[in-house]
A and B are shown apart, each in its own frame.
Chain A
Amino acid sequence: MPFIPHTEQEIAEMLQAIGADDISALFEEIPSHLLANELTGVPEGMTEMEISRLMHARAAQHPQSVCFLGAGAYEHHIPAAVWEITTRGEYYSAYTPYQAEASQGTLQLVYEFQSMMTALTGMDVSNASMYDGATALAEAVLMAVRGNRKSKSRKILMPTTVHPTYRKTTRTIVQGQHIELCEVDYDPATGVTSLEAFKEKAGDDITAIVIQQPNFFGNLEAVDEITDWAHENNILVIAVANPLSLAILEAPGNWGSAGVDIACGDGQPLGAPMSAGGPYYGYLCCTQTLVRQMPGRIVGRTLDQDDKEGFVLTLQAREQHIRRSKATSNICTNQGLVVTASTIHMSILGASGLEKAAAACHANTMALVKQLSQIEGVDCAFESNYFHEAVLKINKPAVEVLVALAEKNILGGYDLSEAYPELGSAILVCATEMRTDEEISAYANALAEVCA
Protein backbone atom coordinates (compact mmCIF):
# COMPACT_ATOMS: atom_id res chain seq x y z
CA MET A 1 0.00 0.00 0.00
CA PRO A 2 1.49 3.35 -0.95
CA PHE A 3 1.73 5.86 1.91
CA ILE A 4 -0.48 8.48 0.29
CA PRO A 5 -3.09 9.81 2.68
CA HIS A 6 -5.60 11.05 0.08
CA THR A 7 -8.79 9.04 -0.47
CA GLU A 8 -10.11 8.33 -3.96
CA GLN A 9 -12.88 10.84 -3.25
CA GLU A 10 -10.42 13.59 -2.26
CA ILE A 11 -8.35 12.95 -5.38
CA ALA A 12 -11.49 13.20 -7.53
CA GLU A 13 -12.44 16.49 -5.84
CA MET A 14 -8.98 17.98 -6.38
CA LEU A 15 -8.96 16.93 -10.04
CA GLN A 16 -12.40 18.47 -10.49
CA ALA A 17 -11.25 21.71 -8.84
CA ILE A 18 -8.41 22.14 -11.33
CA GLY A 19 -10.41 20.81 -14.28
CA ALA A 20 -8.35 17.71 -15.02
CA ASP A 21 -9.98 14.41 -16.03
CA ASP A 22 -7.50 12.16 -14.30
CA ILE A 23 -3.99 12.20 -12.84
CA SER A 24 -2.34 11.23 -16.12
CA ALA A 25 -3.73 14.48 -17.59
CA LEU A 26 -1.27 16.33 -15.31
CA PHE A 27 1.63 14.73 -17.20
CA GLU A 28 0.25 15.25 -20.70
CA GLU A 29 3.02 17.61 -21.76
CA ILE A 30 5.65 14.86 -21.40
CA PRO A 31 6.14 13.20 -24.82
CA SER A 32 4.94 9.60 -24.72
CA HIS A 33 8.27 8.18 -25.90
CA LEU A 34 9.92 9.56 -22.74
CA LEU A 35 7.53 7.84 -20.36
CA ALA A 36 8.69 4.69 -18.62
CA ASN A 37 6.09 1.97 -18.79
CA GLU A 38 6.50 -1.18 -16.74
CA LEU A 39 9.62 -1.26 -14.54
CA THR A 40 10.77 -4.68 -15.67
CA GLY A 41 14.01 -4.72 -13.69
CA VAL A 42 12.36 -4.23 -10.30
CA PRO A 43 11.48 -7.42 -8.42
CA GLU A 44 8.23 -7.95 -6.53
CA GLY A 45 8.02 -6.52 -3.04
CA MET A 46 9.03 -8.61 -0.03
CA THR A 47 7.70 -8.70 3.50
CA GLU A 48 9.80 -7.25 6.32
CA MET A 49 10.54 -10.78 7.56
CA GLU A 50 11.71 -11.90 4.11
CA ILE A 51 13.89 -8.85 3.58
CA SER A 52 15.43 -9.24 7.04
CA ARG A 53 16.28 -12.88 6.28
CA LEU A 54 17.78 -11.90 2.91
CA MET A 55 19.90 -9.13 4.41
CA HIS A 56 21.23 -11.37 7.18
CA ALA A 57 22.21 -13.95 4.57
CA ARG A 58 23.96 -11.30 2.48
CA ALA A 59 25.76 -9.86 5.52
CA ALA A 60 26.98 -13.34 6.45
CA GLN A 61 28.66 -13.65 3.04
CA HIS A 62 30.75 -10.59 3.90
CA PRO A 63 33.92 -11.58 5.74
CA GLN A 64 35.06 -9.59 8.76
CA SER A 65 38.13 -8.20 7.06
CA VAL A 66 40.94 -6.28 8.73
CA CYS A 67 41.11 -2.85 7.11
CA PHE A 68 44.34 -1.27 5.89
CA LEU A 69 42.39 0.80 3.39
CA GLY A 70 42.07 4.57 3.66
CA ALA A 71 42.22 6.93 0.66
CA GLY A 72 39.81 9.45 2.14
CA ALA A 73 37.68 7.39 4.54
CA TYR A 74 39.19 5.84 7.65
CA GLU A 75 38.30 3.25 10.24
CA HIS A 76 38.57 4.90 13.65
CA HIS A 77 37.36 3.99 17.09
CA ILE A 78 34.04 5.69 17.80
CA PRO A 79 33.11 5.53 21.49
CA ALA A 80 29.75 3.78 21.98
CA ALA A 81 28.42 6.88 23.73
CA VAL A 82 28.69 8.93 20.50
CA TRP A 83 25.85 7.37 18.55
CA GLU A 84 23.93 6.49 21.73
CA ILE A 85 23.67 10.21 22.51
CA THR A 86 23.29 11.25 18.86
CA THR A 87 20.24 9.04 18.35
CA ARG A 88 18.41 10.37 21.43
CA GLY A 89 15.15 12.05 20.45
CA GLU A 90 16.45 15.50 21.37
CA TYR A 91 19.26 15.28 18.80
CA TYR A 92 17.94 12.89 16.17
CA SER A 93 17.27 15.14 13.23
CA ALA A 94 18.95 15.05 9.85
CA TYR A 95 18.23 18.64 9.05
CA THR A 96 18.67 22.23 10.14
CA PRO A 97 15.28 22.91 11.68
CA TYR A 98 12.83 25.28 10.07
CA GLN A 99 12.26 28.24 12.38
CA ALA A 100 15.77 27.42 13.49
CA GLU A 101 15.82 29.73 16.50
CA ALA A 102 13.09 27.67 18.16
CA SER A 103 15.66 24.84 18.37
CA GLN A 104 18.20 26.45 20.66
CA GLY A 105 19.75 23.09 21.57
CA THR A 106 20.49 22.24 17.93
CA LEU A 107 21.88 25.71 17.27
CA GLN A 108 24.08 25.57 20.37
CA LEU A 109 25.44 22.21 19.24
CA VAL A 110 26.26 23.56 15.78
CA TYR A 111 27.89 26.60 17.42
CA GLU A 112 30.06 24.25 19.49
CA PHE A 113 30.91 22.31 16.32
CA GLN A 114 31.98 25.52 14.58
CA SER A 115 34.09 26.48 17.61
CA MET A 116 35.83 23.07 17.57
CA MET A 117 36.54 23.29 13.84
CA THR A 118 38.02 26.79 14.13
CA ALA A 119 40.19 25.54 17.02
CA LEU A 120 41.41 22.57 14.94
CA THR A 121 42.04 24.55 11.75
CA GLY A 122 43.20 27.80 13.35
CA MET A 123 40.77 29.75 11.17
CA ASP A 124 38.47 32.64 12.16
CA VAL A 125 35.13 31.12 11.19
CA SER A 126 33.52 27.80 10.33
CA ASN A 127 30.15 27.12 8.80
CA ALA A 128 27.68 24.49 10.00
CA SER A 129 29.15 21.93 7.52
CA MET A 130 28.82 20.85 3.89
CA TYR A 131 27.77 17.58 2.25
CA ASP A 132 31.27 16.05 2.11
CA GLY A 133 34.93 16.89 1.68
CA ALA A 134 34.81 16.91 -2.12
CA THR A 135 31.91 19.37 -2.37
CA ALA A 136 33.49 21.47 0.39
CA LEU A 137 36.56 21.85 -1.86
CA ALA A 138 34.38 22.83 -4.83
CA GLU A 139 32.67 25.46 -2.69
CA ALA A 140 36.06 26.66 -1.44
CA VAL A 141 37.15 27.19 -5.05
CA LEU A 142 33.99 29.17 -5.81
CA MET A 143 34.55 31.22 -2.63
CA ALA A 144 38.11 31.99 -3.67
CA VAL A 145 37.01 33.15 -7.11
CA ARG A 146 34.44 35.49 -5.57
CA GLY A 147 36.78 36.57 -2.80
CA ASN A 148 39.96 37.34 -4.78
CA ARG A 149 38.78 40.46 -6.55
CA LYS A 150 42.31 41.48 -7.50
CA SER A 151 42.51 38.44 -9.77
CA LYS A 152 40.63 38.36 -13.04
CA SER A 153 41.86 35.04 -14.42
CA ARG A 154 39.59 32.64 -12.46
CA LYS A 155 42.51 30.22 -12.64
CA ILE A 156 43.12 27.69 -9.86
CA LEU A 157 46.28 25.62 -9.40
CA MET A 158 45.33 22.13 -8.31
CA PRO A 159 48.14 19.68 -7.48
CA THR A 160 47.58 16.10 -8.61
CA THR A 161 48.34 15.09 -5.01
CA VAL A 162 44.84 16.35 -4.13
CA HIS A 163 42.38 13.44 -3.75
CA PRO A 164 41.41 12.34 -7.32
CA THR A 165 37.69 12.26 -6.46
CA TYR A 166 37.83 15.74 -4.94
CA ARG A 167 39.41 17.00 -8.15
CA LYS A 168 36.71 15.34 -10.27
CA THR A 169 33.90 16.65 -8.09
CA THR A 170 35.34 20.16 -8.12
CA ARG A 171 35.64 20.04 -11.90
CA THR A 172 32.02 18.93 -12.22
CA ILE A 173 30.72 21.68 -9.96
CA VAL A 174 32.78 24.61 -11.27
CA GLN A 175 33.02 23.73 -14.96
CA GLY A 176 30.05 25.83 -15.99
CA GLN A 177 31.46 28.94 -14.32
CA HIS A 178 34.46 29.70 -16.55
CA ILE A 179 36.90 28.62 -13.87
CA GLU A 180 40.13 27.03 -15.07
CA LEU A 181 41.52 24.20 -12.95
CA CYS A 182 45.18 23.82 -13.82
CA GLU A 183 46.88 20.65 -12.53
CA VAL A 184 50.34 20.75 -10.94
CA ASP A 185 52.42 17.56 -11.00
CA TYR A 186 54.19 16.11 -7.98
CA ASP A 187 57.86 15.28 -7.66
CA PRO A 188 58.17 11.55 -8.52
CA ALA A 189 60.95 11.08 -5.95
CA THR A 190 59.17 12.63 -2.98
CA GLY A 191 55.46 12.37 -3.78
CA VAL A 192 54.93 16.00 -2.82
CA THR A 193 54.40 19.15 -4.86
CA SER A 194 57.46 21.36 -5.00
CA LEU A 195 57.25 25.13 -4.84
CA GLU A 196 59.08 25.14 -8.19
CA ALA A 197 56.23 23.14 -9.76
CA PHE A 198 53.75 25.79 -8.62
CA LYS A 199 55.98 28.56 -9.94
CA GLU A 200 56.27 26.87 -13.35
CA LYS A 201 52.49 26.82 -13.79
CA ALA A 202 51.98 30.31 -12.49
CA GLY A 203 51.38 32.92 -15.15
CA ASP A 204 50.79 36.53 -14.28
CA ASP A 205 47.45 36.03 -12.63
CA ILE A 206 46.40 33.06 -10.49
CA THR A 207 43.25 33.30 -8.38
CA ALA A 208 43.93 30.55 -5.86
CA ILE A 209 45.90 27.39 -5.17
CA VAL A 210 44.85 24.22 -3.41
CA ILE A 211 47.15 22.28 -1.06
CA GLN A 212 46.12 18.99 0.51
CA GLN A 213 47.86 18.15 3.80
CA PRO A 214 48.59 15.32 4.27
CA ASN A 215 48.25 14.83 0.53
CA PHE A 216 46.46 11.91 -1.13
CA PHE A 217 49.63 9.77 -0.85
CA GLY A 218 49.75 10.51 2.88
CA ASN A 219 52.83 12.71 2.42
CA LEU A 220 53.41 16.09 4.03
CA GLU A 221 53.61 19.03 1.63
CA ALA A 222 55.86 22.06 2.23
CA VAL A 223 52.83 24.10 3.23
CA ASP A 224 54.61 27.07 4.80
CA GLU A 225 56.73 28.13 1.83
CA ILE A 226 53.94 27.47 -0.67
CA THR A 227 51.46 29.55 1.35
CA ASP A 228 53.88 32.45 1.67
CA TRP A 229 54.76 32.35 -2.03
CA ALA A 230 51.07 32.40 -2.94
CA HIS A 231 50.28 35.37 -0.72
CA GLU A 232 53.27 37.31 -2.07
CA ASN A 233 51.64 36.91 -5.50
CA ASN A 234 48.08 37.88 -4.43
CA ILE A 235 46.97 34.25 -4.69
CA LEU A 236 44.47 32.88 -2.19
CA VAL A 237 45.35 29.57 -0.51
CA ILE A 238 42.85 26.74 0.01
CA ALA A 239 43.89 23.96 2.39
CA VAL A 240 42.35 20.50 2.25
CA ALA A 241 43.14 18.74 5.51
CA ASN A 242 42.17 15.57 7.33
CA PRO A 243 40.78 17.15 10.52
CA LEU A 244 42.13 14.35 12.74
CA SER A 245 45.66 15.00 11.47
CA LEU A 246 45.35 18.58 12.69
CA ALA A 247 45.53 17.29 16.25
CA ILE A 248 49.27 16.77 15.65
CA LEU A 249 50.07 18.74 12.46
CA GLU A 250 50.22 22.53 12.11
CA ALA A 251 46.78 24.11 11.68
CA PRO A 252 46.18 25.66 8.23
CA GLY A 253 45.50 28.97 9.98
CA ASN A 254 49.20 28.96 10.96
CA TRP A 255 50.73 27.91 7.63
CA GLY A 256 53.37 30.38 6.52
CA SER A 257 53.37 33.84 7.99
CA ALA A 258 49.68 34.64 7.48
CA GLY A 259 47.88 31.27 7.35
CA VAL A 260 45.62 30.02 4.57
CA ASP A 261 42.45 31.78 3.44
CA ILE A 262 40.12 28.78 3.32
CA ALA A 263 40.41 25.37 4.97
CA CYS A 264 38.15 22.44 4.13
CA GLY A 265 38.00 18.68 4.18
CA ASP A 266 35.98 15.65 5.10
CA GLY A 267 34.78 15.26 8.68
CA GLN A 268 34.42 11.47 8.45
CA PRO A 269 37.49 10.73 10.63
CA LEU A 270 35.75 12.55 13.50
CA GLY A 271 33.03 10.11 14.55
CA ALA A 272 31.40 8.95 11.32
CA PRO A 273 31.60 5.22 10.52
CA MET A 274 32.96 4.27 7.06
CA SER A 275 29.53 2.82 6.32
CA ALA A 276 30.07 1.91 2.65
CA GLY A 277 30.71 5.50 1.66
CA GLY A 278 28.49 7.73 3.72
CA PRO A 279 26.86 9.83 4.84
CA TYR A 280 29.93 11.83 5.78
CA TYR A 281 30.17 15.60 6.05
CA GLY A 282 32.43 18.36 4.81
CA TYR A 283 33.84 21.12 6.92
CA LEU A 284 34.58 24.61 5.61
CA CYS A 285 36.44 27.34 7.50
CA CYS A 286 37.82 30.69 6.38
CA THR A 287 39.26 34.02 7.44
CA GLN A 288 37.01 36.81 8.70
CA THR A 289 37.71 38.65 5.42
CA LEU A 290 35.97 35.93 3.40
CA VAL A 291 33.07 35.23 5.75
CA ARG A 292 30.49 36.81 3.43
CA GLN A 293 31.59 34.51 0.62
CA MET A 294 31.00 31.45 2.78
CA PRO A 295 28.08 29.28 1.65
CA GLY A 296 25.68 27.43 3.88
CA ARG A 297 24.60 27.95 7.43
CA ILE A 298 26.52 29.82 10.13
CA VAL A 299 25.31 29.84 13.71
CA GLY A 300 26.14 32.87 15.85
CA ARG A 301 25.90 33.57 19.57
CA THR A 302 24.10 36.71 20.66
CA LEU A 303 22.12 38.30 23.50
CA ASP A 304 18.34 38.66 23.45
CA GLN A 305 16.46 41.75 24.66
CA ASP A 306 16.74 40.57 28.26
CA ASP A 307 20.52 40.15 27.83
CA LYS A 308 20.21 36.37 27.92
CA GLU A 309 22.54 34.32 25.72
CA GLY A 310 20.97 32.79 22.63
CA PHE A 311 21.95 31.25 19.29
CA VAL A 312 20.80 32.38 15.85
CA LEU A 313 21.43 31.62 12.19
CA THR A 314 23.53 34.54 11.02
CA LEU A 315 24.83 35.97 7.74
CA GLN A 316 21.96 34.45 5.78
CA ALA A 317 21.46 37.43 3.47
CA ARG A 318 23.27 35.70 0.59
CA GLU A 319 21.50 32.38 0.78
CA GLN A 320 19.16 31.02 -1.85
CA HIS A 321 15.91 31.92 -0.16
CA ILE A 322 16.93 35.59 -0.34
CA ARG A 323 19.36 35.91 -3.27
CA ARG A 324 17.81 33.28 -5.55
CA SER A 325 20.09 32.70 -8.53
CA LYS A 326 22.68 35.12 -7.11
CA ALA A 327 23.11 33.14 -3.89
CA THR A 328 26.66 32.17 -2.90
CA SER A 329 25.73 28.50 -3.32
CA ASN A 330 22.93 26.03 -3.83
CA ILE A 331 23.64 24.67 -0.35
CA CYS A 332 21.15 25.99 2.17
CA THR A 333 21.55 23.38 4.88
CA ASN A 334 24.14 21.21 6.58
CA GLN A 335 24.80 17.56 7.44
CA GLY A 336 22.95 17.88 10.73
CA LEU A 337 23.00 14.35 12.09
CA VAL A 338 26.60 13.44 11.23
CA VAL A 339 27.79 16.79 12.56
CA THR A 340 25.90 16.12 15.79
CA ALA A 341 27.73 12.80 16.14
CA SER A 342 31.02 14.42 15.23
CA THR A 343 30.62 17.18 17.81
CA ILE A 344 29.80 14.64 20.51
CA HIS A 345 32.76 12.52 19.34
CA MET A 346 35.16 15.46 19.63
CA SER A 347 33.77 16.49 23.01
CA ILE A 348 34.19 12.93 24.37
CA LEU A 349 37.75 12.55 23.04
CA GLY A 350 38.76 16.10 23.83
CA ALA A 351 41.90 17.70 22.44
CA SER A 352 44.17 15.16 24.15
CA GLY A 353 42.10 12.20 22.93
CA LEU A 354 42.25 13.43 19.33
CA GLU A 355 45.99 13.93 19.68
CA LYS A 356 46.47 10.40 21.03
CA ALA A 357 44.36 8.91 18.23
CA ALA A 358 46.29 10.85 15.58
CA ALA A 359 49.67 9.91 17.11
CA ALA A 360 48.65 6.23 17.29
CA CYS A 361 47.66 6.31 13.60
CA HIS A 362 51.05 7.72 12.72
CA ALA A 363 52.93 5.17 14.88
CA ASN A 364 50.95 2.22 13.49
CA THR A 365 51.48 3.32 9.90
CA MET A 366 55.22 3.72 10.55
CA ALA A 367 55.31 0.16 11.93
CA LEU A 368 53.29 -1.12 8.96
CA VAL A 369 55.46 0.56 6.36
CA LYS A 370 58.63 -0.65 8.08
CA GLN A 371 57.46 -4.28 8.03
CA LEU A 372 55.95 -4.24 4.55
CA SER A 373 58.88 -2.51 2.88
CA GLN A 374 61.24 -5.23 4.14
CA ILE A 375 59.39 -7.76 1.99
CA GLU A 376 61.16 -8.79 -1.22
CA GLY A 377 59.35 -7.06 -4.11
CA VAL A 378 57.75 -4.35 -1.97
CA ASP A 379 59.27 -0.86 -1.76
CA CYS A 380 58.32 2.58 -0.47
CA ALA A 381 57.42 4.70 -3.49
CA PHE A 382 58.52 8.01 -1.97
CA GLU A 383 61.08 9.38 0.41
CA SER A 384 58.89 11.67 2.41
CA ASN A 385 57.36 12.31 5.80
CA TYR A 386 53.82 11.00 6.07
CA PHE A 387 50.92 11.00 8.50
CA HIS A 388 48.95 7.73 8.42
CA GLU A 389 49.17 6.60 4.80
CA ALA A 390 52.00 5.64 2.48
CA VAL A 391 52.47 4.38 -1.08
CA LEU A 392 54.11 1.00 -1.70
CA LYS A 393 55.31 -0.26 -5.06
CA ILE A 394 54.77 -3.98 -5.61
CA ASN A 395 56.41 -6.42 -8.02
CA LYS A 396 53.05 -7.93 -9.03
CA PRO A 397 49.90 -6.24 -10.42
CA ALA A 398 48.22 -4.35 -7.57
CA VAL A 399 44.78 -5.71 -8.34
CA GLU A 400 45.99 -9.33 -8.10
CA VAL A 401 47.77 -8.63 -4.82
CA LEU A 402 44.72 -6.95 -3.29
CA VAL A 403 42.40 -9.77 -4.39
CA ALA A 404 44.77 -12.36 -2.94
CA LEU A 405 44.90 -10.42 0.34
CA ALA A 406 41.12 -10.06 0.41
CA GLU A 407 40.87 -13.86 0.23
CA LYS A 408 42.89 -13.86 3.45
CA ASN A 409 40.38 -11.36 4.92
CA ILE A 410 42.74 -8.41 4.63
CA LEU A 411 41.72 -5.20 2.91
CA GLY A 412 45.24 -4.44 1.82
CA GLY A 413 44.94 -0.90 0.52
CA TYR A 414 43.88 1.26 -2.38
CA ASP A 415 44.94 0.39 -5.93
CA LEU A 416 46.54 3.54 -7.37
CA SER A 417 46.98 2.25 -10.92
CA GLU A 418 43.87 3.91 -12.33
CA ALA A 419 44.34 7.39 -10.84
CA TYR A 420 48.17 7.35 -11.03
CA PRO A 421 49.21 4.98 -13.84
CA GLU A 422 52.73 6.49 -13.82
CA LEU A 423 53.38 4.79 -10.47
CA GLY A 424 53.05 1.35 -12.03
CA SER A 425 51.79 -1.28 -9.61
CA ALA A 426 51.31 0.68 -6.39
CA ILE A 427 48.97 0.65 -3.42
CA LEU A 428 48.12 3.20 -0.75
CA VAL A 429 48.16 1.64 2.73
CA CYS A 430 46.87 2.96 6.04
CA ALA A 431 46.97 1.72 9.64
CA THR A 432 44.78 3.69 12.01
CA GLU A 433 44.80 3.43 15.82
CA MET A 434 42.44 0.44 15.39
CA ARG A 435 45.19 -1.85 14.06
CA THR A 436 47.05 -4.06 16.51
CA ASP A 437 50.66 -5.21 16.26
CA GLU A 438 49.35 -8.73 15.55
CA GLU A 439 47.21 -7.50 12.66
CA ILE A 440 50.13 -5.55 11.21
CA SER A 441 52.39 -8.62 11.42
CA ALA A 442 49.66 -10.79 9.92
CA TYR A 443 49.40 -8.36 7.00
CA ALA A 444 53.17 -8.47 6.49
CA ASN A 445 53.17 -12.29 6.49
CA ALA A 446 50.25 -12.42 4.07
CA LEU A 447 51.82 -9.90 1.71
CA ALA A 448 55.13 -11.79 1.78
CA GLU A 449 53.29 -14.94 0.72
CA VAL A 450 51.40 -13.16 -2.03
CA CYS A 451 54.51 -11.44 -3.41
CA ALA A 452 56.72 -14.51 -3.21
Chain B
Amino acid sequence: MSDVPSELRYTASHEWIRDEGDGTVTIGITDHAQELLGDLVFVELPEVGADLTAGDACCVVESVKAASDVYAPLTGEVLEVNEMLAESPEIINDSAFDDGWLFKMQLSAEVELEELMDADEYEKEIED
Protein backbone atom coordinates (compact mmCIF):
# COMPACT_ATOMS: atom_id res chain seq x y z
CA MET B 1 0.00 0.00 0.00
CA SER B 2 1.39 3.37 -1.01
CA ASP B 3 1.93 6.17 1.39
CA VAL B 4 -0.57 9.09 1.06
CA PRO B 5 0.43 11.99 3.35
CA SER B 6 -2.65 13.71 4.80
CA GLU B 7 -1.30 17.29 4.52
CA LEU B 8 -1.09 17.18 0.69
CA ARG B 9 -3.64 17.66 -2.10
CA TYR B 10 -3.92 15.30 -5.06
CA THR B 11 -5.19 14.87 -8.61
CA ALA B 12 -6.67 11.83 -10.34
CA SER B 13 -3.63 11.88 -12.66
CA HIS B 14 -1.40 11.21 -9.61
CA GLU B 15 0.20 14.59 -8.97
CA TRP B 16 0.57 15.80 -5.40
CA ILE B 17 0.39 19.47 -4.41
CA ARG B 18 1.77 21.06 -1.25
CA ASP B 19 0.25 24.44 -0.37
CA GLU B 20 3.16 26.53 0.93
CA GLY B 21 0.68 29.04 2.38
CA ASP B 22 2.13 32.05 0.51
CA GLY B 23 0.34 31.67 -2.82
CA THR B 24 2.91 29.13 -4.02
CA VAL B 25 2.73 25.36 -4.26
CA THR B 26 5.20 22.52 -4.68
CA ILE B 27 4.24 19.75 -7.10
CA GLY B 28 5.38 16.17 -7.58
CA ILE B 29 4.09 12.74 -8.53
CA THR B 30 2.72 10.40 -5.89
CA ASP B 31 4.38 7.35 -4.44
CA HIS B 32 1.65 5.31 -6.13
CA ALA B 33 2.57 6.84 -9.52
CA GLN B 34 6.29 6.10 -9.13
CA GLU B 35 5.42 2.52 -8.16
CA LEU B 36 3.37 2.11 -11.34
CA LEU B 37 6.11 3.60 -13.51
CA GLY B 38 9.01 1.63 -12.03
CA ASP B 39 12.64 2.80 -12.11
CA LEU B 40 12.74 6.35 -13.44
CA VAL B 41 15.53 7.13 -15.90
CA PHE B 42 14.72 10.65 -17.08
CA VAL B 43 12.64 13.66 -16.13
CA GLU B 44 11.84 16.52 -18.48
CA LEU B 45 10.94 19.56 -16.37
CA PRO B 46 9.07 22.73 -17.39
CA GLU B 47 10.97 25.96 -18.10
CA VAL B 48 11.23 28.36 -15.17
CA GLY B 49 8.95 31.29 -15.97
CA ALA B 50 6.56 29.23 -18.07
CA ASP B 51 2.88 30.09 -17.66
CA LEU B 52 0.86 26.93 -17.14
CA THR B 53 -2.88 26.39 -17.27
CA ALA B 54 -4.41 23.68 -15.09
CA GLY B 55 -4.46 20.53 -17.20
CA ASP B 56 -1.43 21.39 -19.39
CA ALA B 57 1.03 18.56 -19.96
CA CYS B 58 4.15 20.20 -18.53
CA CYS B 59 6.64 17.46 -17.57
CA VAL B 60 7.55 14.02 -18.82
CA VAL B 61 8.66 11.32 -16.39
CA GLU B 62 10.32 8.44 -18.19
CA SER B 63 10.91 5.01 -16.73
CA VAL B 64 12.38 1.95 -18.38
CA LYS B 65 8.80 0.99 -19.25
CA ALA B 66 7.09 4.19 -20.32
CA ALA B 67 7.25 7.95 -20.69
CA SER B 68 4.28 9.63 -18.98
CA ASP B 69 3.11 13.21 -18.98
CA VAL B 70 2.71 15.12 -15.75
CA TYR B 71 -0.12 17.66 -15.86
CA ALA B 72 -0.16 21.08 -14.24
CA PRO B 73 -2.74 20.64 -11.47
CA LEU B 74 -3.27 24.40 -11.15
CA THR B 75 -2.85 27.60 -13.15
CA GLY B 76 0.17 29.79 -12.59
CA GLU B 77 3.83 30.47 -13.29
CA VAL B 78 6.72 28.06 -12.78
CA LEU B 79 9.04 29.50 -10.11
CA GLU B 80 11.62 26.81 -9.68
CA VAL B 81 12.36 23.28 -10.88
CA ASN B 82 14.14 20.47 -9.06
CA GLU B 83 17.54 20.53 -10.77
CA MET B 84 18.68 17.44 -8.84
CA LEU B 85 16.38 15.31 -11.01
CA ALA B 86 18.41 15.96 -14.17
CA GLU B 87 21.26 13.85 -12.84
CA SER B 88 19.34 11.61 -10.44
CA PRO B 89 15.75 10.94 -11.51
CA GLU B 90 15.69 7.92 -9.17
CA ILE B 91 15.23 10.39 -6.29
CA ILE B 92 11.52 10.23 -7.23
CA ASN B 93 11.51 6.47 -6.65
CA ASP B 94 13.18 6.91 -3.26
CA SER B 95 11.37 10.00 -2.05
CA ALA B 96 8.34 10.87 -4.17
CA PHE B 97 6.77 13.26 -1.66
CA ASP B 98 9.88 15.00 -0.46
CA ASP B 99 13.26 15.18 -2.26
CA GLY B 100 11.59 14.03 -5.48
CA TRP B 101 9.46 17.18 -5.97
CA LEU B 102 9.25 18.36 -9.59
CA PHE B 103 8.55 22.09 -9.63
CA LYS B 104 7.16 25.05 -7.68
CA MET B 105 4.44 27.38 -8.95
CA GLN B 106 3.10 30.82 -8.17
CA LEU B 107 -0.68 30.39 -8.32
CA SER B 108 -2.92 32.67 -10.36
CA ALA B 109 -6.06 31.64 -8.48
CA GLU B 110 -5.69 30.06 -5.06
CA VAL B 111 -9.35 28.98 -5.13
CA GLU B 112 -8.33 26.23 -7.56
CA LEU B 113 -6.68 24.49 -4.60
CA GLU B 114 -10.13 23.76 -3.18
CA GLU B 115 -11.05 21.69 -6.22
CA LEU B 116 -8.20 19.20 -5.67
CA MET B 117 -8.64 15.89 -3.85
CA ASP B 118 -7.63 15.49 -0.25
CA ALA B 119 -5.72 12.43 1.00
CA ASP B 120 -8.87 10.41 1.77
CA GLU B 121 -10.34 11.02 -1.66
CA TYR B 122 -7.07 10.17 -3.39
CA GLU B 123 -6.68 7.00 -1.35
CA LYS B 124 -10.14 5.96 -2.40
CA GLU B 125 -9.30 6.83 -6.02
CA ILE B 126 -6.25 4.58 -6.15
CA GLU B 127 -8.07 1.72 -4.45
CA ASP B 128 -10.61 1.57 -7.30
The chain A residues found within 8 Å of chain B, CB to CB, are 149-150, 292, 317-318, 322-323, 326
B67 touches A318 (CB 8 A): yes
A276 to B66, CA, bound (A): 41
**Docked CA distance A326–B67 (Å):** 10
Q: Give bound CA distance, A104 to B41, whole Å.
A: 24
Across the interface, do A326 and B66 meet the contact criterion of CB distance under 8 Å?
A: no
Known A-B contacts: A317-B62, A318-B62, A322-B65. Give 14 more (CB < 8 A).
Answer: A149-B47, A150-B47, A292-B42, A292-B44, A292-B62, A317-B41, A317-B63, A317-B64, A317-B65, A317-B66, A318-B67, A322-B67, A323-B66, A323-B67
What string of 1s and 0s marks CB contacts (under 8 Å) between B52-82 and chain A? 0000000000111111010000000000000
Closest to B64 in A: A317
Chain B residues contacting A322 (CB-CB under 8 Å) are: 65-67
Give the chain A neighbours of B42 by CB distance below 8 A. Answer: 292
How many Å from the CB of B98 to the closest CB on chain A? Answer: 25
| Closest 10 pairs (CB-CB, A-B) | A317-B67, A318-B67, A317-B62, A322-B66, A317-B66, A149-B47, A323-B67, A292-B42, A322-B67, A317-B63
Q: Which residues of B contact A317 (CB under 8 A)?
A: 41, 62-67
Please determine whether B69 and A326 come into contact, CB atoms closer than 8 angstroms. yes
Closest residue on chain A to residue B62 by CB atoms: A317
Contacts of A292 in B (CB 8 A): 42, 44, 62
The number of chain B residues with a CB under 8 A from chain A is 11
- List 20 A–B pairs whose Cβ atoms lie within 8 Å, in order of A's numbering: A149-B47, A150-B47, A292-B42, A292-B44, A292-B62, A317-B41, A317-B62, A317-B63, A317-B64, A317-B65, A317-B66, A317-B67, A318-B62, A318-B67, A322-B65, A322-B66, A322-B67, A323-B66, A323-B67, A326-B69
* Residues of B contacting A: mostly: strand
In the complex, A318→B44 CA distance in Å?
12
Q: How far is the CA of A76 from the CA of B92 in the complex (A)?
A: 53
Contacts of B69 in A (CB 8 A): 326
Question: Distance (Å) between the CB of B24 and the closest chain A CB?
Answer: 23
Identity of the chain B residue whose Cβ is nearest the Cβ of A317 in the assembled complex: B67
Chain A nearest Cβ from B105, distance in angstroms? 18
How many Å lie between the Cα of A34 and that of B64 in the bound state? 46
Min CB distance A422 to B, Å, is: 42
A317 to chain B, nearest CB (A): 4
B41 contact set on A, CB distance < 8 A: 317
Q: Which residue of A lies closest to B37 (CB)?
A: A317
A212 vs chain B, min Cβ distance (A):
30
Q: How far is B102's CA from A347's CA once the two chains are assembled, in angstroms?
A: 46
Residues of B within 8 A of A149 (CB): 47
B7 to chain A, nearest CB (A): 32
Closest CB of chain B to A101's CB: distance in Å?
14
Provide the bound-state CA to CA distance between A54 and B58, in Å.
Answer: 61
A293 to chain B, nearest CB (A): 10
* Closest beta carbon of chain B to A430's beta carbon, Å: 43
Query: Nearest chain B CB to A296's CB is how many angstroms away?
Result: 15
Scoring B residues 87 to 123 as 1 if CB is less than 8 Å from chain A, else 0, what string do you get?
Answer: 0000000000000000000000000000000000000
